[in-house]
Structure 1
Amino acid sequence: MKLSCRSCSSSSSCSSSSSSSSSSCHRHLTRHHTRRQFHGRRSVSVRSGASSSSSSRVDDTAIFTLLRASEKGYDLRLIDAHPAVQTTYTNRGDGIEKLAKYFDGVNADGVQFASTQPLFMWHGEEGGKVMRLRVGKRVDGETGSLPPAPEPGSELALTVAGGNAVAVIVVKEQNVTPDVAKVYLSRLREMLAEDGIKTKHADESRFGVCQYGELYTMAERLNELLVEVAL
């Protein structure tokens, strides 16, 4: 899979299979928000084992506004307000499965929705870990209506997410283990402190994981760590 990078020369491209080029281009991908490179029809699907063959099943609307791209290696972004469906979870796979059912039409109106990214996983929120996906375009193309309520007993909830500023750092590892997260979050908080930027929460257990790419495997996945900041 080739990932075109607007900060690289127009005659070259960045291969995700090459560790040397991947390392140098992760930063470009972050800075210029070429996240739609991860929205290929095969990798974007929230549905288990599914390959989306129609553009109606993919909604790659951007939900980040870049506020600052630090030369130190992190971004400050605003998460634009957006409707989302969320669930609390302990196991990542179970959380994704619950969200996928909503997108597949297991909701009050039986409406199917186009797959969206990124997948947000917030740690340290009330009730434990929260997994969240933006609810975007309907597969049938209809517009103007609010997202339908989840079915009773689905352990899902609709919410208006975003509207907050975050500091973001790209994680080179495919698997964000607690040890990996600890290293990157420590580095991110150190850079923020050097730049005089305060985090919104003193509790260091509060952070987000943002994932792009195939949800059911680690192949072609891009991970980012997020910390809310007070601007």
Structure 2
Amino acid sequence: MPAPRPTSGPPLPTAVLWDMDGTLVDTEPLWNAAQQALLAEYGGVWSEALAASLVGRPLDEGARRLQAAGIGLDVEQIIARTMGEVAAAIADAVPWRPGALELLRKQSATGVPGALVTMSHAPLARVLAEHAPDGALTVVVTGDQARAGKPDPEAYRLALHRLGEHVPGLDPADCVAVEDSPVGVRAAVTAGLPTVGVPSVLPLPAGVATVEWDTLAGRTLADLAAVRPGPAPDGRG
């Protein structure tokens, strides 16, 4: 079990809400390899533009784009094939992003609850959650649980609702989200969350994230607690 929250010391966020792919773990190369191989199997053509269009998006949306590129399988088959390969790779060796595991360990040690808010589906998210420090990811919200994917804020609002069951009176402004993609940042900010953007594959538009960091390496929970909300961008509510 995680330790109880300390009663003194640096300020802590009430909760941390984490994106998964590209933020906690460097899975984009794994997704690209699985999707590219499947596309090649059906004679389709992979491109950097196609790869970029899939980043941060719901898996069913990505599968439809892969169908349009030439994969002759239905959406669920594409998701199952590619997600299965990524899950197996993570189970073999989790490709943590710099600083991510250290922050999760600090959450576990201080009792700060966390949520995993990902457009990947539950079978893959469970693999990562099982490898996270005890108590660091109290809540898991996945793309197959949300009716609307990022950049819609629904997944983050659902995560906040579930975190509120553990933390009565939870205020989104006292929490922080961590995201790597433009669509993910927009979803978190629109949900009312102070948001740290840590770009991995795609650059982030200027001024959308509350703050932008080059890396999580060397960062502390006090750094996350110091991130304060700004005005929400135009987006889907």
What TM bracket, shorter-length normalisation? under 0.3
Higher helix residue share: 2
Higher strand residue share: 1
Greater RCO (CA < 8 Å, at least 6 residues apart) = 2
TM-score (norm 1): 0.26
TM-score (norm 2): 0.26
